[in-house]
Amino acid sequence: MTSSSTLLSLPVPVPPADDRPQLGLAEELLTLLRTTTTEPRPDEQLEALALAVAADLPVLLWGEPGIGKTAALTQLAASLDLPLTTVIASVHEPTDFSGLPVLGEDPAVNGVPMAPPQWAVELVRAGRGLLFLDELSTATPAVQAALLRVVLERRVGALQLPPGVRIVAAANPRASAADGWELSPPLANRFVHLYWVHDREVVVRGLGGVWPRAELPRLDAAGLPDAVAFARRAVCGFLNTRPTLIHRLPTTETRRGGAWPSPRSWEAAMTLLAFGTAASVSRDVLALLVRGAVGDGPGLELLAHVDRMELPDPDLLLADPGAAELPERGDLRQATLEAVVAAVGARPERERWEAAWKVLVRAMETGAPDLLVGPAKALAALRRDGWEVPEAVERLSAVIGLARRAEGSVARTAAAAGAGRAAGGRA
């Protein structure tokens, strides 16, 4: 029998030494750290980027250093099976984009050809790819000028890039860029500007080894003609009512380096609207793209115009109020009910007036009653002498009265709170 002291004195087995070089083990460890997977996950930024790439529009990603712009482009290229070509714009000369003159035989007769750089030749050989122009905001004005033809015409020197090449750029805001420059207005107006921000859940899950997967939008083949017609009608109808927004160069240098409205950028917005409609993207994704093309103010105005276009015809609602299909979004529902009341006011007839009350009943049955207070008051004011109060009014009266009492309670509470703050301030 072996004593405990004997057991303690026995040698501890030592695992066999791994005779592989330490640098080899380090490479193996790095490989394990870099091995990640992807998963389908809603990501509005990636969806907007993928749709703009599908629409063959140059995209410029704005974001602070280290936010993940380059990683997103690398993952996008892998997901779309496109070879990625990265060109750091700030370390190149203008001739790297406009072409380097090469003298041949008898230049007075044959001219001087502009030789393209190697990366452009490789893109042409591949026939497709994702050209990533990084650090654009640190490129000198001369380099930015040379990039104009690359971004818009897809020409590098005398070489024409194939249609299968998409262009995405990245830039840091001037305040956080190393020796940064503002983008020139001609170059900025050629891009769709997307502002890249980090999402905590995406970062944490990605560092755990699973990143969201970028996928091209699924376009409805049967709906392509309607999507184009809708986009043309939306943009042209909007610019007819807001002609001053057709071209508006910002007054400050910083804003000129971002998105602003011009005929070129409105064409980009129309393209994005057509693609977004054909792919049935969310309003948030569409807002990112449209605002990135023409700027925040004009983009939001266009989206509001699109919302009004999608409102149901009030005369059709009055013709069959029992089957009225009303928008689910509160603001659109409110606008629809106001349009119904306005239609009755434009042609006040007893049958239409009674039908409008039935539309309000339909709205009560399918949505929030607080939206009915304003339209009901306006509709009641349209009553003519001799028009009997319809039964629908009785069904609405209790609900509207409750909503009005709730509004009054909220107003009284807010007033009391304001009085209390004022008294505290005087004390």
CATH code (residue 138): 3.40.50.300
Over the stretch 125-135, which tens digit does the pLDDT of each residue have? 999 999 999 98
**Residue 12 included in any domain:** no
Mean local confidence (pLDDT), 67-84: 85
Report residue 158's pLDDT band, with 50, 70 and 90 as the boundaries: confident
Question: What pLDDT, on a 0 to 100 scale, did the predictor assign at position 403?
Answer: 42
Give yes or no: residues 185 and 255 share one domain.
Answer: no
Please state, for a pLDDT cut of 90, what percent of the chain lies above it.
40
CB 115 within 8 A of CB 156: no
Segments forming the whole domain that contains residue 367: 314-415
**Residue 178 included in any domain:** yes
Give yes or no: residues 153 and 256 share one domain.
Answer: no
CB 68 within 8 A of CB 105: no
**Residue 258 included in any domain:** yes
User: CB neighbours (10 Å) of residue 157?
Assistant: 23
Mean local confidence (pLDDT), 320-329: 86
In this model, does residue 192 exceed pLDDT 90?
yes
Give yes or no: residues 152 and 165 share one domain.
Answer: yes
Give yes or no: residues 79 and 92 share one domain.
Answer: yes
Mean pLDDT of the chain: 84
Mean local confidence (pLDDT), 33-57: 90
Over the stretch 87-113, which tens digit does the pLDDT of each residue have? 998 888 888 888 777 766 666 666 667
Give yes or no: residues 194 and 257 share one domain.
Answer: no
Question: What pLDDT, on a 0 to 100 scale, did the predictor assign at position 414?
Answer: 45
Q: Which among 177, 192, 212 is the end of a domain? A: 212
In total, how many domains does the chain have? 3
Over the stretch 270-311, which tens digit does the pLDDT of each residue have? 999 999 999 999 999 999 999 999 999 999 999 999 988 888
Mean pLDDT lowest for which of 14-18, 20-24, 137-141? Answer: 14-18
Most confidently modeled of 34-38, 68-72, 289-293? 289-293
- Which residue pairs from 113-121 have beta carbons closer than 8 angstroms and sit at least 24 positions apart in sequence? 113/157, 113/158, 114/157, 114/158, 115/157, 115/158, 116/156, 116/157, 116/158, 116/159, 117/156, 117/157, 119/85, 119/87, 120/156, 120/157, 120/159, 120/161, 121/159
**Residue 426 included in any domain:** no
**Residue 9 included in any domain:** no
Question: What pLDDT, on a 0 to 100 scale, did the predictor assign at position 406?
Answer: 38
Question: What pLDDT, on a 0 to 100 scale, did the predictor assign at position 237?
Answer: 93
Radius of gyration over every alpha carbon of the chain, rounded to an integer in angstroms:
31
**Residue 79 included in any domain:** yes
- What distance in Å separates the CA atoms of residue 149 and residue 187, rounded to the nearest whole number? 9
| pTM as predicted | 0.76
Question: What pLDDT, on a 0 to 100 scale, did the predictor assign at position 18?
Answer: 62
pLDDT higher at 231 or 181:
231
**Residue 86 included in any domain:** yes
Give yes or no: residues 128 and 250 share one domain.
Answer: no
How large is the angle between the packed helices 224-241 and 296-309, nearest 10 degrees? 120
Q: In sequence order, which residues have a C-beta less than 8 Å from that of residue 266 and are 6 or more positions away?
A: 235, 239, 246, 293, 294
Question: What pLDDT, on a 0 to 100 scale, did the predictor assign at position 408?
Answer: 46
**Residue 3 included in any domain:** no
Q: Which among 184, 212, 240 is the end of a domain? A: 212
Report residue 193's pLDDT band, with 50, 70 and 90 as the boundaries: very high
Give yes or no: residues 255 and 201 share one domain.
Answer: no
- What distance in Å separates the CA atoms of residue 284 and residue 292, rounded to the nearest whole number? 12
Give yes or no: residues 55 and 88 share one domain.
Answer: yes
Give yes or no: residues 332 and 345 share one domain.
Answer: yes
Question: What pLDDT, on a 0 to 100 scale, did the predictor assign at position 199?
Answer: 84
Report residue 396's pLDDT band, with 50, 70 and 90 as the boundaries: confident
**Nearest by Cα to 46 from 61, 27, 25:** 61
Give yes or no: residues 286 and 326 share one domain.
Answer: no
Q: Which among 309, 335, 363 is the end of a domain? A: 309
Question: What pLDDT, on a 0 to 100 scale, did the predictor assign at position 402?
Answer: 43
In this model, does residue 350 exceed pLDDT 80?
yes
Give yes or no: residues 298 and 334 share one domain.
Answer: no
User: CB neighbours (10 Å) of residue 126?
Assistant: 14
Give yes or no: residues 67 and 194 share one domain.
Answer: yes
Most confidently modeled of 103-107, 144-148, 171-175, 266-270? 266-270
